[in-house]
Structure 1
Amino acid sequence: MTIALAGLAVAVGALVQGAVGFGLALVAAPFLAIIDPRLLPVPMLILATAHAMLALRREFRHADWTGVGWALLGRLPGIALGVLAVAVLPPRWFAVAVAIIVLTCVALSVVRWRPRPTVPALLVAGIVSGAGGTASSIGGPPVALLYQDAHGPRVRATLGAYFAAGSLLSIAGLLVGGQVDADALRAAALLAPFMIVGFLLSSPARRLLDRGWTRPAVLALAAGGALALLGQAALA
């Protein structure tokens, strides 16, 4: 029953991320934290890596590779902060900080601010994303907000490339920190079929969002992710 409930959350998250470009962790992680906290962050990061590779393969030619590179450069120090949070400090404080930053950016975007994927913005977003993604598995909103005005394939492919490399870096950081074990690998393997089903179901939703709904979806999911982080912090 536990695996079935966790798998349902992963499948829905995979469908959302396949359609919008991110959302797997922010949809699934709060439920996984309640069902079995051991499913975070390593199993979720493994699933996120696999999903990102599938998404990148589907829309490879649309990725902004320059933007991905700068965001990944910023992610490196963010990963160090996330590993520190997992190993030494209560991760909830990092989660709260990331959530507040994301909610502020969403609010400004709704009012008047339209962030762009400039080099400084990508570096900062990478740092915030790396910290949040490593400590809590939710790292998509900071980078996604920079591409909120891009067309759907651009958003999905760019985030897919960023998540594929970034999640691998986070897993490597947690491995060095002693957080990756056999139980985490088994849990990821059990949940992988659910992730694949969700990804396959995302194609019809992807075509719908590409009709002008990408930006509202990005803003809504970013705000939802921040609220999910606050919820995780409250439960920690």
Structure 2
Amino acid sequence: MDYGGDGLALLVVLLASLVQAWLGIGFALLGAPLLYLLDPAYVPGPVLLLGFVLAACMAVGNRQALAWRRPLPAILARLPGAWCGGLLLGLLPGAWLGLLLGACVLLASLSSYRWLALSCSPRNLAVAGFCSGLLGTATAVGGPPMALVYQTRKRLDGRDELAAFFLLTTPISLLLLFHQDRLPLEVLGASLRLAPAVLAGYALARRLEGRFERHSPRQALLLLSLLAAGGLLLNSLWRLCA
């Protein structure tokens, strides 16, 4: 892994952590495509590890019981989804993984404009949890399926429940990656180098809580995600055609 872009990587992780600590989602949606452009080795291992650190910070900072009851169907469904994602990751060459990641981010960004509204029912949560496990393990972007079923929930409720979901389920994906020898010590070192940016982004989000209109960061997230997805798709297509 090339550490020459550590400064940019730290900035990306800080911004992505700030967005997720505010909305409950956005770390991988924004961070994964940008970090992949800096170095494909950041995806999926380091992004998943850093997302787990952020989820732990949010759960501890909430100072309440872990909000796991509503997302329980999604938590249970993530296990088979993660297993399928591990199989998919083993079949995809690097450039194709970039295309899949870019397509996931692009579709997630477009669907977040509420063109597709789903209720937060146990059935929808189970389907979203399976898809989250599949995409999260293969590309580190496991949040968008959950975001679709949480669009109608209040921001704070959704943020706390999504934090519980990622805290309890991300280790499943990490264990599968470890089993496939996709979490070497080098990946752990890269994650530790970027961890201070996660803590800084979370702390900044706590400082800014209540100071901005509810939807303003969401629109910025979607715009940045669209730009990142577009850049990643072009980069991956260039690598395939070269």
What's the offset of the Cα at 1:147? 1.5
Larger mean Cα displacement after TM superposition, 16-25 or 77-86:
77-86
Is the CA contact (8 Å cut-off) linking 1:59 and 1:156 kept in structure 2? no
Larger mean Cα displacement after TM superposition, 30-39 or 85-94:
85-94
2:239 aligns to what?
Answer: none
Indicate how the Cα distance of structure 1 residues 28 and 97 shifts in structure 2: closer, same or farther if over 3 A, else same: closer
Partners of 1:220 and 1:62 lie apart in 2 by 31
Q: Does 1:235 align with 2:241?
A: no
2:56 aligns to what?
Answer: 53
Is the CA contact (8 Å cut-off) linking 1:59 and 1:153 kept in structure 2? no
Q: Does 1:106 align with 2:112?
A: yes
Letter in 1 for 2:9: A
2:165 aligns to what?
Answer: 162
Partners of 1:118 and 1:223 lie apart in 2 by 28
Partners of 1:222 and 1:133 lie apart in 2 by 19
What's the offset of the Cα at 1:196? 0.6
Q: Does 1:19 align with 2:27?
A: no
Partners of 2:35 and 2:14 lie apart in 1 by 12
Which residue of the other structure, out of 80, 85, 88, is the alignment partner of 2:83?
A: 80
Partners of 1:168 and 1:181 lie apart in 2 by 15
1:136 aligns to what?
Answer: 139
List runs of 5+ in structure 2 lacking aligned partners. Answer: 237-242
More helix by share: 1
- Matched position secondary structure for 1:207: coil
- Matched position secondary structure for 1:115: coil
Indicate how the Cα distance of structure 1 residues 93 and 221 shifts in structure 2: closer, same or farther if over 3 A, else same: same
Indicate how the Cα distance of structure 1 residues 48 and 196 shifts in structure 2: closer, same or farther if over 3 A, else same: same
Letter in 2 for 1:162: F
List runs of 5+ in structure 1 lacking aligned partners. Answer: none
Is the CA contact (8 Å cut-off) linking 1:63 and 1:155 kept in structure 2? no
Partners of 1:83 and 1:155 lie apart in 2 by 27
Larger mean Cα displacement after TM superposition, 93-102 or 122-131:
93-102
Is the CA contact (8 Å cut-off) linking 2:82 and 2:176 kept in structure 1? yes
Is the CA contact (8 Å cut-off) linking 2:109 and 2:225 kept in structure 1? no
Give the RMSD, CA atoms, in angstroms: 2.7
Indicate the percent of aligned positions where both proteins have the same amino acid. 30
Q: Does 1:153 align with 2:171?
A: no
Residue deviations 1:23-68, cap 9 Å, x none?
1122222221122221221111111001001111222548642232
Relative to the length of structure 2, the TM-score reads 0.82
Q: Does 1:37 align with 2:43?
A: no
Letter in 2 for 1:235: N
Partners of 1:15 and 1:222 lie apart in 2 by 14
Q: Does 1:213 align with 2:215?
A: yes
Larger mean Cα displacement after TM superposition, 82-91 or 38-47:
82-91
